[in-house]
Chain A
Amino acid sequence: MSPEERPPIEAQSEPDMDRRNFLRNGVTAAGAMSAVAAALSPLKDMDPDDLPSVRQFLQKHYREMTPEELEEALARIAEQVQERHGVEAHVTAPEAKDGVEFVYALNLSRCVGCRQCVHACVQENNQSRSPEVQYISVLEMPRGTMDLEQGDCHYDRALVPDEDHFYLPIQCHQCAKAPCVKVCPVGATWTEPDGITVVDYDWCIGCRYCEAACPYHARRFNYAKPSIPEGQVNPDMSYLSNRPREQGVMEKCHFCLQRTREGRLPACLEVCPVGARKFGNALDPESDVAQILRTKRVLILKEELGTLPRFFYYFDERYPRAGSPTQDPEEGK
Chain B
Amino acid sequence: MKDYFTFLWRCFRVSFVGDRRYYLWMMVLSIISLLGLNAWARQLVYGLATTGMTDQVSWGLYIANFTFLVGMAAAAAMLVIPVYIYRNRELHDLVIFGELLAVAAILMCLMFVTVDLGRPDRFHHLFLKFNFPMSMLAWDVIVLNGYLLLNLHICGYLIYCAYQRRKPSRAFYIPFVFIAIVWAISIHTVTAFLYVGLGGRPFWNTAIIAPRFLASAFAAGPAFLILTLEVVDRFTSYEVPRKAQQTLTKIVTVALLINMFLLGCEIFTEFYTDSAHGASARYLFLGLHGKSALVPWIWTAIGLNTAALVLLLLPASDSLKFVYPACVFLIVGIWIDKGMGLIIPAFIPTPIGEIVEYAPTLNETLVCLGIWAFGLLIYTILVRVTIPVLSGQLTMDTDYSPKFPRRRVALPDRGNPL
Taking beta carbons and an 8 Å cutoff, which residues of A are in contact with B? 1-3, 6-7, 9-10, 35-36, 38-43, 45-46, 51-52, 57, 60-61, 64, 131, 137, 139, 147-151, 153, 170, 179, 182-188, 203-209, 211-217, 219-225, 247-250, 302, 305-307
Question: Who on chain B is nearest to A57 by CB?
Answer: B121
Q: B131–A185 contact, CB under 8 A?
A: yes
Q: B35–A39 contact, CB under 8 A?
A: yes
In the complex, A121 Cα to B13 Cα: how many Å?
A: 61
- Decide yes or no whether B53 CB sits under 8 A from chain A: yes
Taking beta carbons and an 8 Å cutoff, which residues of B are in contact with A? 13, 16-17, 20, 23, 26-27, 30, 34-35, 37-38, 41-42, 44-49, 51, 53-56, 58-59, 113, 116-123, 125-126, 128-131, 134-138, 141, 194, 197-201, 276, 279, 346-347, 349-354, 402-403
**Distance from B131 Cβ to chain A, minimum over Cβ atoms (Å):** 5
**Distance from A213 Cβ to chain B, minimum over Cβ atoms (Å):** 5
Contact of B46 among A51, A187, A224 (CB under 8 A): A224
Given A2-B23, A9-B17, the answer on whether A186 and B131 have CB atoms closer than 8 Å is yes
Q: A186–B200 contact, CB under 8 A?
A: no
Specify which of A57, A151, A179, A208 lies most central, judged by the most chain B CB atoms within 10 Å of its CB.
Answer: A208
Contact of B49 among A10, A61, A205, A223 (CB under 8 A): A223
Specify which of A7, A36, A186, A214 lies most central, judged by the most chain B CB atoms within 10 Å of its CB.
Answer: A186
Q: Give the chain A neighbours of B351 by CB distance below 8 A.
A: 148, 214-217, 302
Contact of A205 among B51, B54, B123 (CB under 8 A): B123
Specify which of B38, B46, B47, B121 lies most central, judged by the most chain A CB atoms within 10 Å of its CB.
Answer: B47
In the complex, A179 Cα to B137 Cα: how many Å?
A: 13
**Distance from A127 Cβ to chain B, minimum over Cβ atoms (Å):** 12
In the complex, A74 Cα to B322 Cα: how many Å?
A: 67
Q: A42–B42 contact, CB under 8 A?
A: yes
Question: Who on chain B is nearest to A180 by CB?
Answer: B200
Q: Give the chain B neighbours of A36 by CB distance below 8 A.
A: 34, 37
Specify which of A183, A222, A305 lies most central, judged by the most chain B CB atoms within 10 Å of its CB.
Answer: A183
Q: Give the chain A neighbours of B13 by CB distance below 8 A.
A: 7
Given A205-B118, A212-B201, the answer on whether A1 and B26 have CB atoms closer than 8 Å is yes
Q: A212–B58 contact, CB under 8 A?
A: yes
In the complex, A150 Cα to B288 Cα: how many Å?
A: 12
Contact of B137 among A149, A185, A215 (CB under 8 A): A185
Contact of A39 among B37, B135, B137, B194 (CB under 8 A): B37
Q: Give the chain A neighbours of B56 by CB distance below 8 A.
A: 217
Q: B135–A182 contact, CB under 8 A?
A: yes
Given A9-B17, A185-B138, the answer on whether A1 and B117 have CB atoms closer than 8 Å is no
Q: Give the chain B neighbours of A208 by CB distance below 8 A.
A: 58-59, 116, 118
In the complex, A149 Cα to B126 Cα: how many Å?
A: 37
Q: B59–A212 contact, CB under 8 A?
A: yes
Q: A211–B58 contact, CB under 8 A?
A: yes
Q: B118–A225 contact, CB under 8 A?
A: no
Q: B200–A223 contact, CB under 8 A?
A: no
**Distance from A105 Cβ to chain B, minimum over Cβ atoms (Å):** 19
Q: Give the chain B neighbours of A43 by CB distance below 8 A.
A: 41, 44-45
In the complex, A36 Cα to B35 Cα: how many Å?
A: 10
Q: A207–B118 contact, CB under 8 A?
A: yes
In the complex, A146 Cα to B353 Cα: how many Å?
A: 11
Top 4 closest pairs, chain A to chain B, by CB: A206-B118, A215-B200, A248-B118, A149-B353
Q: A223–B53 contact, CB under 8 A?
A: yes
Given A205-B126, A248-B48, the answer on whether A40 and B138 have CB atoms closer than 8 Å is no
Q: B130–A186 contact, CB under 8 A?
A: yes
Q: Give the chain A neighbours of B116 by CB distance below 8 A.
A: 207-208
Contact of A40 among B17, B37, B53 (CB under 8 A): B37
Q: B279–A42 contact, CB under 8 A?
A: no
Q: Give the chain A neighbours of B354 by CB distance below 8 A.
A: 137, 153, 217
Given A183-B135, A186-B131, the answer on whether A40 and B38 have CB atoms closer than 8 Å is yes
Q: B352–A205 contact, CB under 8 A?
A: no
In the complex, A52 Cα to B122 Cα: how many Å?
A: 9
Q: A249–B118 contact, CB under 8 A?
A: yes
In the complex, A38 Cα to B42 Cα: how many Å?
A: 12
In the complex, A6 Cα to B20 Cα: how many Å?
A: 10
Contact of A10 among B128, B136, B279, B402 (CB under 8 A): B402
Q: Give the chain B neighbours of A307 by CB distance below 8 A.
A: 199
Q: Give the chain B neighbours of A57 by CB distance below 8 A.
A: 121
Given A182-B135, A184-B131, A222-B118, the answer on whether A35 and B34 have CB atoms closer than 8 Å is yes
Q: Give the chain B neighbours of A153 by CB distance below 8 A.
A: 352, 354
**Distance from A68 Cβ to chain B, minimum over Cβ atoms (Å):** 19
Specify which of A147, A212, A217, A249 lies most central, judged by the most chain B CB atoms within 10 Å of its CB.
Answer: A212
Q: Give the chain B neighbours of A250 by CB distance below 8 A.
A: 118
In the complex, A22 Cα to B326 Cα: how many Å?
A: 47
In the complex, A306 Cα to B200 Cα: how many Å?
A: 10
Contact of A1 among B16, B54, B353 (CB under 8 A): B16
Q: Give the chain B neighbours of A206 by CB distance below 8 A.
A: 48, 117-119, 122
Specify which of A204, A215, A217, A225 lies most central, judged by the most chain B CB atoms within 10 Å of its CB.
Answer: A217
Contact of B129 among A10, A203, A217, A249 (CB under 8 A): A203
Q: A184–B135 contact, CB under 8 A?
A: yes
